[in-house]
Chain A
Amino acid sequence: MANWKPLEQMTYLGKRYPRLDGLAKVTGAAKYTYDVNLPGLLYGALLSSPHPAAVIKNIDASAAQALPGVKAVLTDIHPTGTVRYVGEEVAAVAAVSPEIARDALELIKVDYEVLKFAADIDTAMQSEAPRVFFEQPNIRDPRKGGKGDIEAGFKQAAVVVESDYRTQVQTHNSLEVHGCVAKWEGENLIVWDSTQGVHPIREGIAKFLNLPQSNVRVICEYMGGGFGSKLQSSRYNGIAARLAKAANAPVKLMLTRPQDSMTAGNRPNLIAHVKLGATRDGKVVAFQSKTYGTAGIGSNAGSALPIAYDIPNTQTEHYDVYTNAGPARAFRAPGCPQASFVMEQVMDEMAEKLNMNPLDFRLLNDTNETRKKEWKLGAEKFGWAKRAPKPNADPGPFKRGMGLGAAIWWPGGRGTKSQLTILPDGGIEIRCGTQDLGTATRTIVAAVVAEELGVPIESVKALIGDTNYPYSGGSGGSTTAPSVAPAIKNATEKGKDKLLDLAAAHLGIAKTDLMIANGKVSAQSNAAKSLNWKQLCALLGTAPLEVQGEWVEGLSSAGVAGCQFAEVEVDTETGLVKVLRVLAVQDCGLVLNRLTAESQVNGAVIQGISYALLEDRLIDPVTGIPLNTTFENYKVLGALEMPKIDVIIYDEPARGVIGIGEPPTVPTAATIANAVYHAIGKRVREIPMTPDRVLAALST
């Protein structure tokens, strides 16, 4: 089985080195989908439904069609003719400027038969609520899970905690909205898409347009964030291609910021009733949950309860609820931050009932050997021992508190292919159809090659983000690094082996005696027998060396553990929660780049704080209209609220590569919630923990 060399022998992996595309990003040279300009490019725009539920009776686009500068209008883009949320696509135009495209939208007249709707979960769950889908009730059949014997479990329990918690809908708000540029070349279609998966997007577009996949090429050189929302092809892809066909010109179709918020995904909310049982000596023996969540008109609003802790007897029952709202999509650790918010608090409630320190209670019940070590390491670094033994210890009005929570994530690597090309002049190209979401994938692809060939990373040209390159899956589930790194190493190992064959023959030395390092190949027995990189590659003659690689066992793993600690200060007069500091301890097996891995943890924690305190997609239940679809109204954590964040990457190199994008955002909101409780002695059972909710909790 393949394996990595020891960490101490590495030049790049495990170390800190700047990302290779930093230069392009700080100079504006990096071309994102939004930046693609082509000769004759037209600008597409989508008309959105203003109604949460309506039948499209008629669309009159004649005035739009007649507007000078308009090159294509589509009025048949809705698949069923019945819109089910505000923002849904109704018609589309392409024009010579974005301004004219917007003008054209205003000229389209749509007759709607307005229907009754249920845009929020509380309305939709009422028995007499209008149905989102006429043929089925809003509350879907439950998904049930569990193990052991729940009744026997609670019989063993000497102490039981029963509580309710609630989380909100969160929208992704990637800085680059969803969108693409579509260009036809005869029967072939090229799509530049802001995507997390060029290959899956190609499959989706080809299916939608009924084209052979080989006629579709998808390119994504740079993309401005996705967080799970850009894993699948969307209606706009097909619409852009159709507009381009109709206008006989390339079309750029980017959603508006509000359209992105309304149509391009969200994290479902969770309404949870949970029950936890433990023995008198603190062993958790039973967990039961009944939960509801809405993914809008979509499904899979479930949670990962009971997350992080291995409890012998569990029973879960979850109901998806349809609402007249945009469908959910994967969002950074789907189902987990909401589950963690519930689980870690009910664990703390239990610890308090048992009169145990929350840390000791975790150590007693956590079965993950890595996390047990992380709890101890983190607690020491954070100064957990200084935590006041009882909540609400400060005289006020500013009260401080500390909390903790556990991080967990499961998926690992999977089939990815690659191609290494060594050119006779010494050039090195590595091709892989993965993509870089800002997670430094391009950089680690080059680093793995550089590490294996003993050359500087700058000499490796990493070519990614194109379906013309060997297959890799979507960048979701923190699977990218463990999928890609082994495939890159595999191709490079094979290429190195062939180069060593050439060197052995040329130098007249046994291949087993040769080593590649520091830009040259040399005999271990006789250092004078050596070739520098250029001389070595010149042995190729005229034909480049091309080798294919694939994902192989042994270089990656699945499953990570982490833990977080937070200290907050609550202003009990205004209800404002201020996060003072967060410590995140996170493993990811073999660290490929410590600098960029830390950046990902920073970002995950920041999104978690934002989720805990600020973010909340609001839909007016009376009109069904989303109220905060822009950055003005949808608050995300900014520079002034940034706490001190410390990151400890917990090395376990023997496990190989594991992804780190998702797990560190799992426990942040829960950790802050526990800290808020410790500060004020009252539980805020719903996020975001806005001042009104904190004040309400204080007044109970």
Chain B
Amino acid sequence: MSDEPIKSKKFSRRAFLKVSGGGAVGAAVLPSLVKTTPVRADGAEVFKGAATIQLKVNGKARSVEVEPRTTLLSALRHQLEVTGCKEVCDRGECGACTVLMNGKTVLACMTLALDAAGKEITTVEGLAVDGKLDPVQQAFIDKDALMCGFCTPGFVMSVRALLNKNPHPTEAEVRQAVAGNTCRCGTYGRVFEAALAATKATNGKRG
């Protein structure tokens, strides 16, 4: 394999480009990556290889070995067995891998694991507290807001994030909040019902 920088023809996450303003990678992880030569014409440094980083997943610190291109989704699913976030499109089109990063929804397939280092990651596995379901989860069960269930974790996380910042959404706001989540079985109407029911059950807060 040549030390080619990021290809322009075909999108590649094989190498990690460190550019000013995109400095999301902690300085601590960079030394374990190998700087490629030559540097790109624009002076940006390109790193390859693997690095061990810490991810805080559902309150626990976990070590993962990642390449610059490794997505948060790949790290969670393949290394940590956190499989609630689903791989469906792997390019940010469907929302099935939605997780919370420092409280905000991100698509795990579009987030590099390196960028998630040191941040609080919450997945659907982390919503229940002491065995007690998040009211959003309970409402999804009660309203049958799921069928095959493959999109469900993503919807649950999107609704949870909505209620965290807007405890009393309208149905229109719920629709906006899940507009990035795709369901092929057709659970949408019941997702809206579940979100509104969760709001009523607990005043929007986590139970």
Contact = CB atoms under 8 A, between A and B. Distances in A.
A395 interface: no
A173 B128 contact: no
B152 to A, nearest CB: 5
Given A27-B137, A438-B149, A595 B144 contact: yes
A173 B184 contact: yes
A315 interface: no
B185 interface: yes
Interface in A6-24: 18-19, 21-24
B141 interface: yes
Interface string B179-201: 10111111111111000000000
Contact of B185 (A98, A438, A638): A438
Contacts of A644: 189
A222 interface: yes
Contact of B186 (A43, A172, A603): A603
A613 to B, nearest CB: 14
A182 B123 CA distance: 28
A175 B150 contact: yes
Given A98-B74, A631-B93, A631-B182, A27 B189 contact: no
Given A18-B141, A18-B142, A176-B150, A26 B93 contact: no
Interface in A618-649: 630-632, 636, 638-640, 642, 644-645
Interface stretch (A29-37, A522-530, A541-549): A29-37
A22 B185 contact: no
A175 B88 contact: yes
A98 B144 contact: no
A28 B179 contact: no
Contact of A636 (B1, B144, B182): B182
A31 B186 CA distance: 21
Given A26-B137, A175-B86, A642-B189, A222 B184 contact: no
Contacts of A598: 144
B117 interface: no
Interface residues of A, number: 62
A224 interface: yes
A340 interface: no
Interface centre among B93, B141, B150, B151 (most CB of A within 10 A): B150
Contacts of B186: 599, 602-607
A438 B90 CA distance: 22
Secondary structure of the B contact surface, majority rule: loop
A99 B190 CA distance: 37
Given A222-B149, A636-B182, A639-B179, A631 B89 contact: yes
A26 B123 CA distance: 11
A262 interface: no
A22 B148 CA distance: 10
Residue in A26, A256, A607 whose Cβ sees the most chain B Cβ within 10 Å: A26
A5 to B, nearest CB: 25
A24 B77 CA distance: 17
Contacts of A450: none
A468 interface: no
Given A26-B146, A30-B149, A99-B67, A639 B14 contact: no
A26 B81 contact: no
**B85, B86, B185 — which one has the most chain A CB atoms within 10 A of its CB?**
B185
Contact of A27 (B84, B86, B87, B192): B84
A28 B123 contact: yes
A632 B70 CA distance: 22
Contact of B148 (A37, A437, A632): A437
Contact of A599 (B87, B144, B150): B144
B5 interface: no
B142 A438 contact: no
Given A175-B150, A176-B88, A257-B88, A26 B176 contact: no
A640 B93 contact: no
Given A98-B74, A225-B185, A642 B175 contact: yes
A97 B78 contact: yes
30 contacts: A18-B144, A19-B141, A26-B133, A26-B146, A26-B156, A27-B133, A28-B83, A28-B84, A28-B153, A32-B83, A37-B81, A98-B74, A99-B67, A175-B148, A224-B86, A224-B150, A254-B87, A257-B88, A439-B147, A599-B185, A600-B147, A603-B187, A604-B186, A606-B186, A607-B184, A632-B91, A632-B93, A636-B184, A639-B176, A639-B192
Interface of A: 18-19, 21-32, 34-35, 37, 43, 67, 97-99, 103, 172-177, 222-225, 227, 254, 256-257, 437-440, 595-596, 598-600, 602-607, 630-632, 636, 638-640, 642, 644-645
The 6 closest A-B pairs by CB, nearest first: A28-B84, A603-B186, A224-B150, A438-B148, A25-B149, A606-B186
Given A19-B146, A22-B146, A174-B150, 14 more contacts: A19-B144, A26-B149, A99-B70, A172-B184, A173-B184, A224-B88, A224-B148, A225-B184, A596-B144, A599-B144, A599-B185, A599-B186, A606-B188, A630-B91
